[in-house]
Amino acid sequence: MSDTMHVSGTVQPRAPHQTHSEGNHRTPPGHHHAPCVPQEFVHRPVVDDILVTSWRRLDDSRFTVTAQWPHDHGYFTPTHGRHHLILTGETIRQAGLLLCHTELGVPVGHHFILGNLVYTTHPEHLAVGGGPTRLTIDVTCSRMRLRGGTLSSGHFAMTLRKAGRIVATGHSDVTVTSPAVYRRIRGERLAARRTLDPLPAPVPHQLTGSAMDSDVLLSPTGGSGRWELRIAPGHGAMVNPANDHIPGMLLLDAAQQAARALTAPRIFVPYAFGTEFHRYAEHGVPCTLAARHVPSALPSTTTVQVTGRQEGRPVFVSTLTALDVRR
């Protein structure tokens, strides 16, 4: 008999962690509190990169999370007066991790395998102001599986709002593994770390929408629409030195840089971003990114598909769509 239990509908798991002295944070609807979110709950090594700020349970499968986006972050710099596209994906990622650890029974130290991350933004509500942008996130959990009383996989659907207006919707699917299972999966790769070998030259930062060359994740290959992934030591906002593989969020940033480089000199500011992850991106193995135009589902939009490969095998596929800018 399998030790995996499929849970249909809602699930009411345990919450093993407490972050403040006011007792259980499974608070009833209508009650608000703002606990400090520890770094280990969102897997970010730098405090300034933590975007989620509090959470509360609404019922067995619905939660509310609060977050704020910085207006002057050193890496997530605004694009054409709007918040950086990756902020939405990183917020969805952090909100899911936070709820897994605090409400869905996943101990700190377990590993998460992201299957996909899909979101659509509303650019008209993404303008950067003079201070942080405060958000409320409605989260619904579904397709939950438990193993030994602990979440092993699930689907997270989210709606992000600013002052009551929807700024983005999205979802992600995750699988959770224990440290022992992760060691078996990774094998000798578990000890892999990012090396500090000499970096290849970047493409000009203007082509990727980056603020400076040190932020560029692409190196030219000589082929049209193809680049090699480059990761500068200064990417502390996106890279955890303890990771045994290249983080998924860094791959998303590389994908949006590749899409912008492909469409340059046209202005390409995506509002929709979907990524499917096929395997881990390994340290020390060249990663090639190839971008191409694909048909758009909506008129007056441009869609670009970016595929990352290592040793000839796909690591991820991202699809980005932007409104056509009329000059």
Secondary structure (DSSP) of 156-177: EEEEEEETTEEEEEEEEEEEEE
The answer on pLDDT for 15 being more than 90 is no
Whether the Cβ atoms of residue 286 and residue 310 lie closer than 8 Å to each other: yes
Q: Give the predicted TM-score (pTM) of the model.
A: 0.87
| 271 and 317 assigned to the same domain | yes
* Stated length of the chain: 327
Question: For residue 234, what pLDDT band results from cuts at 50, 70 and 90?
Answer: low
Q: Closest Cα partner for 250 from 283, 272, 221, 223? A: 283
The answer on pLDDT for 321 being more than 60 is yes
Give 23-41 pLDDT, tens digit per residue: 333 333 333 334 469 999 9
Q: What is the pLDDT of residue 22?
A: 33
CA distance 321 to 180: 39
The answer on pLDDT for 262 being more than 90 is yes
Q: What is the pLDDT of residue 4?
A: 28
The answer on pLDDT for 327 being more than 60 is no
Give 267-318 pLDDT, tens digit per residue: 899 999 999 999 999 999 999 999 999 999 999 999 999 999 999 999 999 9
Q: What is the pLDDT of residue 79?
A: 80
How confident is the prediction for the chain on average, in pLDDT? 86
| 166 and 74 assigned to the same domain | yes
Give 155-205 pLDDT, tens digit per residue: 999 999 999 999 999 999 999 999 999 999 999 999 988 777 788 999 999
Strand partners for 5:
146
| 96 and 180 assigned to the same domain | yes
| 54 and 166 assigned to the same domain | yes
Give the chain's radius of gyration (CA, Å).
20
| 308 and 212 assigned to the same domain | yes
The answer on pLDDT for 42 being more than 90 is yes
- Which distant-in-sequence residues (6+ apart) come within 8 Å of 286 by Cβ? 228, 229, 310
Which of 10-19, 183-192, 236-245, 311-320 has the weakest average pLDDT?
A: 10-19
The values of phi and psi at residue 236, to 5°, are -65, -25
| 205 and 101 assigned to the same domain | no
Helix spans in the chain (H)? 39-42, 85-102, 179-186, 205-208, 248-263
| 132 and 214 assigned to the same domain | no
| 13 and 83 assigned to the same domain | yes
The answer on pLDDT for 221 being more than 70 is yes
The values of phi and psi at residue 253, to 5°, are -65, -40
Q: What is the pLDDT of residue 16?
A: 37
Q: What is the CATH number of the domain that holds 13?
A: 3.10.129.10
* Selected residue with higher pLDDT from 13 and 188: 188
Q: Closest Cα partner for 225 from 288, 272, 267, 135? A: 288
Q: What is the pLDDT of residue 25?
A: 38
* Selected residue with higher pLDDT from 234 and 221: 221
* Selected residue with higher pLDDT from 195 and 213: 213
The values of phi and psi at residue 189, to 5°, are -70, -15
| 88 and 201 assigned to the same domain | no
Percent of the chain with pLDDT over 90: 68
| 111 and 227 assigned to the same domain | no
Q: Select from 123, 151, 184 the last residue of a domain.
A: 184
- What is the three-class DSSP state of 248? helix
Whether the Cβ atoms of residue 79 and residue 129 lie closer than 8 Å to each other: no
The answer on pLDDT for 9 being more than 70 is no
- Which distant-in-sequence residues (6+ apart) come within 8 Å of 181 by Cβ? none
Q: Select from 144, 168, 184 the last residue of a domain.
A: 184
- What is the three-class DSSP state of 190? helix
Residue 118: CA count within 13 A, CB half-sphere: 12
- Which distant-in-sequence residues (6+ apart) come within 8 Å of 121 by Cβ? 85, 88, 167, 168, 271, 272
CA distance 307 to 127: 30
Q: Where are the beta strands (DSSP E) in 46-132?
A: 52-57, 62-69, 111-121
- What is the three-class DSSP state of 179? helix
Number of domains in the chain: 2
For the chain, the farthest-separated pair of C-alpha atoms sits apart, in whole angstroms, at 63
CA distance 225 to 214: 21
Percent of the chain with pLDDT over 70: 87
DSSP state of 124: G
Q: Select from 124, 158, 184 the last residue of a domain.
A: 184
DSSP state of 79: B
**Which residue range is the domain that position 229 belongs to?**
192-323
Which of 69-73, 231-235, 263-267 has the weakest average pLDDT?
A: 231-235
| 112 and 207 assigned to the same domain | no
Q: What is the pLDDT of residue 3?
A: 29
| 273 and 308 assigned to the same domain | yes
